Amino acid sequence: MNNRIFLSSPHMSGNEQAYIKEAFDTNWIAPLGANVDGFEAEIATYAGSEGASAVSSGTAAIHLALDLLGVGQGDSVFCSSLTFIATANPILYLGAEPVFIDSDDESWNMSPIALERAFVESKAEGNLPKAVLIVNLYGQSAKMDELMTLCDAYGVPVIEDAAESLGASYKGKKSGTFGKFGVFSFNGNKIITTSGGGMLVSDDIEQLKRSRFLATQARDQAKHYQHSVVGYNYRMSNVLAGIGRAQLEILDERVNARRAVFERYVEALGEIDGLEFMPELEDTYGNRWLTTLTLDPEKIELTPYNLIDALAEENIEARPVWKPLHLQPLFEGCKYYSHGENDDVSLRLFERGLCLPSGSNMTVEEQEQVIEVLKKHLIVVNSKV
Ligand SMILES: *Cc1c(COP(=O)(O)O)cnc(C)c1O
């Protein structure tokens, strides 16, 4: 059996140990310290935001962003439906109610048409959301111009979940810097990793200051331990921030490597009738975190699960596209706005979608093994049609 080929595994640069060593040498093992300060400053510079706040996960960053916007009991939050559960869980932590918004076919991300319907209805009901959570799926930017125009018109702040899109850009501006807050993740499977961690970015320095206060148990200024509001223990450790600093140095290389993986898949499989890759929006530069595609059931008899199983037999990991949150048992009864009256795009993408191994450390030979398995199954089926 060949070595397992993963969907997306950690890819160290080699420089991580130097930063970690420095943390050890200075005994800054405890949370915070020079690596945290450095990592925050470097991310802010990279993204082009005024500041950044390093936390223990992307989920924690979303939780803090919602809290900073005052989301609480009885509030609603508009949220992309086609995403990982981590986007929406923090809405529930705060006792608020998610309202899910469908995707469109061009971006796979939040549909401006569905968002507009949601705004019109919620305004008529006198129940505008406290925030809009926009996800940039698989490294592709959402239609930020259209979405921001709507959110600005209704005066509702935006949180950009850029956990999957670090390094991507939209019309020359870095993903994660469009809303009031942007969120990055350094989980082990993301484009760069600290083994676990996240970052909140914003141009609002005061709010970032408050995020650090909330993320360290919300301790008031007093000689004793005094607390007036609920806080969390969410700051990033100085050791892990060291890993992040070295990873950030090679982020652009990782983006190029993932885009090259995507190009090789397109070259090998692009001609197969009924197979379509996730498009790239005009004027945007995705990081192609995961190469994803759809299989048209009218043209290809195989389902994504058939291919996932076939790949698994060769010790290759592939995954379905995220199951939309409006279809999750956890969110039963939550409101949902589909793209068209009878067109549920995120459901269609889920039923047809497949994520392929896309790691920047996957060798060309390994990718050829993946392609060979896919071709074997797809072309046999295709030639029957
Ligand atoms: C990974 C991910 C998160 C959460 O990040 P963690 O660091 O794992 O908490 C949030 N949203 C999306 C879309 C993700 O893919």
Ordered domains of the chain (ranges, CATH):
16-250 (3.40.640.10), 252-384 (3.90.1150.10)
- Which residues sit with their C-beta closer than 6 Å to ligand 1? 57-59, 83-84, 86-87, 135, 161, 163-164, 185, 187, 198
Q: Which of 56, 108, 164 is the pocket-test mutation for ligand 1 (most atoms within 8 Å of CB)?
A: 164
pLDDT band at 382 (very low <50, low <70, confident <90, very high): low
Cβ–Cβ under 8 Å, residues 140 and 314 = no
Give the tens place of pLDDT for each residue, 319-368.
999 999 999 999 999 999 999 989 999 999 999 999 999 999 999 999 99
Give the tens place of pLDDT for each residue, 160-198.
999 999 999 999 999 999 999 999 999 999 999 999 999
Question: In angstroms, what is the span from residue 183 Cα to ligand 1's centroid?
Answer: 9
Please give the number of the atom of ligand 1 that sits closest to the Cα of 60. Answer: 9
Cβ–Cβ under 8 Å, residues 322 and 354 = no
How far apart CA 257 and CA 267 sit, in angstroms, is 15
Q: Which of 7, 8, 59 is the pocket-test mutation for ligand 1 (most atoms within 8 Å of CB)?
A: 59
Residue partners of 373: CB distance under 8 A and separation at least 6: 310, 311, 314, 316
Q: Which of 57, 185, 192 is the pocket-test mutation for ligand 1 (most atoms within 8 Å of CB)?
A: 185
Question: In angstroms, what is the span from residue 54 Cα to ligand 1's centroid?
Answer: 14
Distances (CA, A) of 83 to 50, 148, 321: 27, 19, 9
